[in-house]
Chains A and B, each alone.
Chain A
Amino acid sequence: MAISTGQSARDDFRDIEQSPYGKPGEVISDTAAPTGTLTVTDESVLDSGEHQMTLNMGPQHPSTHGVMRVVLKLDGEVITDCDPVIGYLHRGTEKLGEAHRYAQITPWTDRTDYVAAPLNNLGYILAVEKLCGVEAPERAQYWRVIMAELARIASHLVWLGTHALDIGALSMSLYCFREREMILDIFESFCGARLTTNMMEIGGFSRPIPDGLVEQIRNFIRLFPGRQQEYSDLLTANPIWMARTKGVGIISPEAAISYSLTGACLRGSGINYDVRKAEPYLVYDRLDFEVPLGEHGDTFDRYLVRMEEMRQALRLVEQALDHVEAMDTPMMAYESPYVIPPHKGTMTTAEDMQRHFIWTIKGFNPPVGEVWQTIEQSKGELGYYIVSDGGPMPYRFRIRTPDFVNLQVLPHMAQGALLADVVALIGTIDIVLGSVDR
C-alpha cells in the first residue's frame, strides 16, 4: 500500500479493497478469516443494519486529551454516528465564581484551560476591569501582551505535540514539550508558578519584574524560530502527515459560522475573525501582526494556521518587549478603589496593613450592571459574562470557553470518516477537557 503526496486516507481504504486479503464481506478461507476483514455475507444482515457496531471510545482513552467519551456507531470502519459525552471534569466553576469575591476568582479561571492559564486570567481580569472602569497602565498592558502571547505559544505547543502524537509522530511531543518547558520557566520567573499561574491582577501587576526575565525571554525569541522550523521540516511535507490530515474533517465556512466556531477552526475555513483585530483589547492595535487564514477548512489547514499563529505570537512578544524594556512607569493603577492597595508598608505601618487587610477580606463593590468581555484565547474566543448586583461577588459568572463550543462540530466532521481519523479530528479541534467541562 503506497501512500503518495496529497492522497487521502480514503484512497488507502480503497487500496485495501483490492488487496490480497480480500474485499470486505468476502470470505477468503474456509477455516479462518484474516484479521480485520468483515466476514458477513448474508445480504439481509447487511441491509438491516445489524452489523453496525457501537463503540465506546473513552473516557480514559489517551487520545481524547482528558476524560471525554465518544459513542461511535460504526459500519465497518466508517463512522455513521458520533455522540460526544462530556462532563466528567465538571467542577462547577460558574457556581463557585458566584460564591467568591472578584479577586478570588482568578485562580479558578486558571483551572478551566490549564494549558493556557495566563490567557484565562487575562479574559477574566479584563471583564472585571471593564465592569469597574479600571484601566491598567500602559506598561502593564504590554507585559500582559507578552505573557498572553507566550501562553498562546505554550498552548499551541501542547496542541501540536499531542495532535502529532495521536496521529503517530511520537517524537513531536518530546520536541514540543521541550520548548514549552522554556516558556514555563519564564512564567516561573515572572510569578512563581508554572501551570496555574494566577498571574494577572485587577489593575496591572503589583509585583516587580524580576531581574533576568527580559534576557530569558530574549533567549527564547532567539531560539524558538529555529526549533519551530524543525517541527515544520518534520511535519509539513511529511507524506504520512499529509495523508492523515489533508481532506480530513472539512468544515465549510457556512458550517463554521453556524456552529459558532472560533479560533483556528473558524480561520482554517477562511473566515477572517480574530478578536485581537476585530475588537482590539490591551495594546494589540499598536502592534503589528497578521491573522493567518486557511483555504480548505481541513485538518491540514488548521495545522498551518496554528503554526503561523505561533510565529505571529513570537513577533508580538518581540515587539512588546522592545516597547516595554526601556519603560519605567508604574505597573499598577493604584489610584482606583477597585485595585488592591500597595503591598509596600503592609509589614511596617498599621494603616497600610489595615487597608490591605480590609480590601482583601471585604473585597470591593463594583457598579451594578453586566459586561461581556471576549479575548482571543489560543483555542478561540474566550468570553466572560459577569452580572453584578453591586455586591462583592458576581451575581452571575459565565465562562464561554471556546473548545466547549468548538467541540460540537465533531459529529458533523466525523460523519462518514474513518475510525482512525477520530483522534485526528479531536486533536484538530484542540480541546482541553478542563475548559470544555469547566
Chain B
Amino acid sequence: MSDGNARETHNLNQEGTVGTGPADTSAGGSPATNEDARSTDARQVEALAPELDLADWSREAYFADDLERHPAVVLLNATLPDAILDIIRFRNETTIHVRPELYREVCRTLRDDPRVAMNFLTDLTAVDMLRLRTSPRFDVVAQLYSLPNRVRLRVKAGIDDGQAVPSLVPLWNGANWMEREAYDMFGIIFDGHPNLRRMLLSDDWDEGHPLRKDYPLRGWKEFPVYNTERTVPRLRTRWTGRGV
C-alpha cells in the first residue's frame, strides 16, 4: 500500500466497515453491538477449541458422504446448536438451511473461525419458492467461499413475505448492492441494511418486485399498442410457455 503519496489516506468507508479475516476486531455498522457479538462468538469458539480439535478439518471432510462431518456443520453445531435446519448435498455442493434470525450469526461464525474461514461472500440472492412449497415463501441464499480452504458453502434462510432477515452488510461490504438487488427484485427486507432502496429499477417503480413468481412476465401494466390503425389483426401467440 505504501506508495508514499496522499491518496493513501482516502480509505474512508461510510457504508460499513472493512470486514476482514479472523484478525479483524472492528466489524460492525453499529460498533457496540457487533463488537459484543463478535467477542461472544470468539469466546465461544475459544472455549470449544480443544473439543473441536478432535474433529476432522481436512479438505476431505468438506466432501465426505456423512454430512455431519462437514467442518461448517461441526462448528455450527458446537457454537449455535439450534441454527441448522437442514443439510443438502447435490452435485458435490453443500447447502445449509439455517434459522433466519441466526442468519448473520451463522455467517459471522463461519467467517471468523480460523479453521473454516468462509471469508468471501461470492453472491447473495433470493429464490421465490411459491410453486415449490407453502411456507416459508422465500429463500435468501448466500454463496460463501473460503479463500484459504478453497471450498464453497451455500447458506440459506427461509423467510415469509414481509419478514425481515438480518443484513450481512456489517460482515461484508459487498453484500450492500446484492441485498439491494434482492430487495428490488423480491421485496425482501434486510434488517440493518444502511441504504435499502431500489438498485436496478427506478426509485419510483410502483409495480412491485419483478422476480416474484406471481409477477407476470410482461408486468402488470397494459402493453402499449403503437400501431392503432393496423388493418391486419394481430396474432396473439403465447410465447411464454408457462404463462409467467
Contact indicator A99/B242 (Cβ below 8 Å): yes
Cα A393 to Cα B132 with chains together (Å): 14
Contact at A87–B199, with CB atoms within 8 Å?
yes
> With A10-B5, A297-B1 as given contacts, are A260 and B199 in contact (CB-CB < 8 Å)?
no
Q: Which of B156-204 contact A (CB under 8 A)?
A: 172-178, 181, 185, 198-202
Check if B210 sits within 8 Å of A92, measured CB to CB. yes
A389 contacts B131, CB within 8 Å? yes
SS class, residues of chain B in contact with chain A: loop
Chain B, residue nearest A14 (CB): B6
Which of B20, B154, B241 is within 8 Å of A254, CB to CB? B20
Chain B neighbourhood of A92, CB < 8 A: 210
Q: Compute how far the CA of A167 lies from the CA of B77 in the bound complex, rounded to whole angstroms.
A: 53
Partner of B7, one of A250, A271, A408: A250
Contacts of A252 in B (CB 8 A): 1, 11, 18
- Looking at the assembled complex, report how far the CB atom of A318 sits from the nearest CB atom of chain B, in whole angstroms: 28
CA distance in complex: A398, B125 (Å):
8
Q: Which of B1, B127, B141, B217 contacts A296 (CB 8 A)?
A: B1
- B108 at interface, CB cutoff 8 A: no
Query: From residue 367 to 390 of chain A, which have CB atoms closer than 8 A to chain B?
Result: 369-372, 374, 381, 383, 385, 387, 389
In the complex, which of the residues B13, B121, B181, B200 has the most CB atoms of chain A within 10 Å of its own CB atom?
B200
Is B15 in contact with chain A by the CB < 8 A criterion? Answer: yes
Cβ of A170 under 8 Å from chain B: no
Q: How many residues of B contact A (CB 8 A)?
A: 62
Nearest CB on B from A416, distance (A): 4
B230 at the A interface (CB under 8 A): no
Q: Is the CB of A437 within 8 A of B200?
A: yes
Interchain nearest-CB distance for B17 vs A (Å): 8
Q: Are A393 and B241 closer than 8 Å at their CB atoms? A: yes
A407 to B173, CA, bound (A): 12
Chain A contact residue count (CB 8 A cutoff): 65
A86 in complex: contacting residue of B13, B17, B200, CB < 8 Å: B200
Asked if residues B5 and A260 are in contact (CB atoms below 8 Å), the reply is no
**Cβ contact within 8 Å between B200 and A260:** no
Quick one: closest A residue to B171, CB to CB?
Answer: A258
Q: Check: B119 CB closer than 8 A to any chain A CB.
A: yes
A370 to B92, CA, bound (A): 11
C-alpha spacing A405/B178, complex, angstroms: 8
Residues of the B chain whose Cβ atoms lie less than 8 Å from the Cβ of A398: 123, 125
**B220 CB → nearest A CB, Å:** 13
Q: Is A124 an interface residue (CB 8 A)?
A: no
Instruction: Check B105 for interface membership: any CB of A closer than 8 A.
Output: no
Alpha-carbon distance between A371 and B123 when the two chains are bound, in angstroms: 13
Cα separation A298 to B9 with both chains bound (whole Å): 13
A303 proximal to B (CB < 8 A):
no
| Given A260-B120, A260-B121, A396-B128, A254 and B24 contact (CB-CB distance below 8 Å) | yes
* B242 and A393 contacting across the interface, CB-CB below 8 Å: yes
- CB atoms of A385 and B242 under 8 A apart: no
Q: Which of B14, B93, B175, B178 contacts A372 (CB 8 A)?
A: B93
B122 at interface, CB cutoff 8 A: yes
- Does B28 interact with chain A (Cβ within 8 Å)? no
Contact indicator B154/A99 (Cβ below 8 Å): no
Q: Which residues of B contact A393 (CB under 8 A)?
A: 241-242
Task: Please encode chain B, from 90 to 125, with 1 for each CB lying within 8 Å of some chain A CB and 0 for all others.
Answer: 110101000000000000000000000001111101
Whether the Cβ atoms of A296 and B93 lie closer than 8 Å is no
A90-B201, A296-B1, A400-B122 in contact; A260/B143 too (CB < 8 A)?
no
Instruction: Give Cα A398–Cα B124 distance, bound, in whole angstroms.
Output: 10
Q: A99-B244, A415-B10 are in contact. Are A246 and B123 (CB under 8 A)?
A: no
Asked if A395 is at the interface of the complex by the 8 Å CB criterion, the answer is yes
- Closest Cβ of chain A to B45, distance in Å, is 20
Residues of A within 8 A of B175 (CB): 260
Q: Considering the complex, give the chain A residue whose CB is closest to the CB of B127.
A: A396
For the complex, give the distance between the alpha carbons of A416 and B14 in Å. 13
Decide yes or no whether B53 CB sits under 8 A from chain A: no
Cβ-defined contact, A258 with B200, below 8 A: no
Q: Does A237 contact B (CB under 8 A)?
A: no
- Which of chain A's residues 256-307 have a Cβ closer than 8 Å to chain B? 257-261, 271, 273, 278-279, 296-298
Once A259-B174, A408-B176, A412-B13 are accepted as A-B contacts, the answer to whether A8 and B91 lie under 8 Å apart by CB is no
CA distance A400 to B121 in the complex (A): 12
Contact of A217 with B by CB under 8 A: no
Find out whether the CB atom of A8 lies under 8 angstroms from the CB atom of B6: yes
Q: Which of B5, B17, B181, B210 contacts A247 (CB 8 A)?
A: B5
A227 CB–B CB distance under 8 Å: no
A255: chain B residues within 8 A (beta carbon): 11, 13, 18, 173
What residues of A have a CB within 8 angstroms of the CB of B90 in the complex?
Answer: 369-371
- Whole-angstrom distance between the alpha carbons of A389 and B211 in the complex? 16
The docked-state distance in angstroms from the alpha carbon of A10 to that of B131 is 57
When distances are taken between beta carbons in the complex, the residues of chain A under 8 Å from B185 are 94
A131 within 8 A of B: yes
Chain B hits for A404, CB < 8 A: 177, 181
C-alpha spacing A360/B13, complex, angstroms: 51
CA distance A86 to B177 in the complex (A): 11
- Checking A87, A271, A396, A405 against B201 with a beta-carbon cut-off of 8 angstroms, the contacting residue is A87
Interface residues of B in 1-46 (CB under 8 A from A): 1-3, 5-15, 17-21, 24
With a cutoff of 8 Å between Cβ atoms, the chain A residues found around residue B152 in the complex are 279, 372
Using A259-B173, A273-B147, A370-B90 as known contacts, say yes or no to A248 and B7 having CB atoms under 8 A apart.
yes
The 28 listed contacts between A and B (C-beta, < 8 Å) are A86-B200, A87-B202, A90-B200, A96-B217, A99-B244, A100-B241, A247-B5, A249-B7, A255-B13, A257-B19, A258-B17, A260-B121, A260-B175, A260-B178, A279-B152, A296-B1, A298-B7, A369-B90, A370-B93, A371-B90, A371-B91, A372-B143, A372-B152, A385-B143, A389-B131, A400-B123, A405-B177, A416-B9
Q: Nearest 6 CB-CB pairs, A to B?
A: A260-B174, A416-B10, A87-B200, A254-B20, A369-B90, A8-B5
Known: A259-B173, A370-B90. 12 other contacts (CB 8 A): A86-B199, A99-B240, A100-B241, A131-B91, A250-B8, A258-B172, A260-B173, A369-B91, A411-B14, A412-B173, A417-B10, A438-B200
